[in-house]
Amino acid sequence: IGDVRFAAGEWIGIEMLEAKGMHDGNVLGVSYFKCSSGKGIFAQLSHLQTTGTRDSAAVEETLRQVEASVSAGVAAGVASSLQVGQRVMWKGRHAGMVRFVGPVEFATGVFVGVELEDPVGYYDGTFMGQTYFKCEPGKGIFAHGSMLNDMARI
């Protein structure tokens, strides 16, 4: 429990019972705790609950994207150049509309919330209990701007 280099605030390092985590306690070259590979995650106290959580795979995917973006040194400027209402492509093949641009509670930096045209996303605009935008369940994603392409430029 404590500060980490990859996000602001106090974070809790957790060893999952099954290999559904993201790391072994080492994140971006810093060792925070030790556990088996693929069993480590980080969460803030406000995002934890003591009984079963739903959509854990979606949470893991988003946190993996956050970790990958931070490790690649993604600048907030890319995300801030996108605007709500702008059409974008996610992963080069999924079209959607920007519904949110700004800071989030689950990581540092500027993130983009996108409502996808097809139900290939993970969320309804709410992530870890915080609502950033609203869309149909399974059509929302959160990403750094570097993971999105402006459809006007394609």
pLDDT digits (tens, 9 = 90+) for 50-106: 445 555 666 666 666 655 554 444 444 455 578 999 999 988 889 999 999 998 877
Q: How many CA atoms lie within 13 A of 131 on its CB side?
A: 6
What gap in Å lies between CA 78 and CA 70, rounded to an integer?
A: 13
Q: Where are the alpha helices (DSSP H) in 8-130?
A: 56-71, 76-80
Reported pTM: 0.55
